Amino acid sequence: MKYLRWIAVFPCALLSSVLISGVFFYLQNFFYGDKGIGASIILECITSTLVGTVFIIIGIYIAPEHKDKTAKILFIVSCVLCAVLFVLNINLNQKLAAFYTIFTLLGSYYSYKMRNKKL
């Protein structure tokens, strides 16, 4: 049964990140609507930070053992994905989207460093 959990670590972590992003997108539209660019940027930064945080936390939670190594691997994957997205967004002249990848990386770093702490 452990091997099924190992197989599910990355897909579930990725899926949970996508779901949290979608949930916050709809909550943002429901509660704030069109309040201006300032509120939108702040909420997008918060959402991006949560995406990185949830990616690591869910991966650690699903992993049956070696949680520190799993956190390190997921953090490295997160760094690579953020670097690719940053370069891609810069090349597509989407500087604000590239800026948000920095917050995703900060969220990943935070959850990687706090992996052994009890909340």
List the domain range (segments joined by +) for residue 57: 2-113
* pLDDT per residue as tens digits for the range 10-52: 999 999 999 998 888 888 777 776 666 666 788 889 999 999 9
CB-side neighbour CA atoms (13 Å) of 18? 6
Query: Maximum distance among all alpha carbons in the chain?
Result: 49
Q: Is residue 118 part of a domain?
A: no
Q: Is residue 119 part of a domain?
A: no
Q: Is residue 47 part of a domain?
A: yes
Q: Is residue 101 part of a domain?
A: yes
Compute the radius of gyration of the chain from its Cα atoms.
Answer: 15
Tally the domains of the chain: 1
Q: Is residue 93 part of a domain?
A: yes
Q: Is residue 17 part of a domain?
A: yes
Q: Is residue 13 part of a domain?
A: yes
- Region of 36 please: left (phi>0), alpha (psi -120 to 50) or beta: left
* pLDDT per residue as tens digits for the range 81-104: 999 999 999 999 999 889 999 999
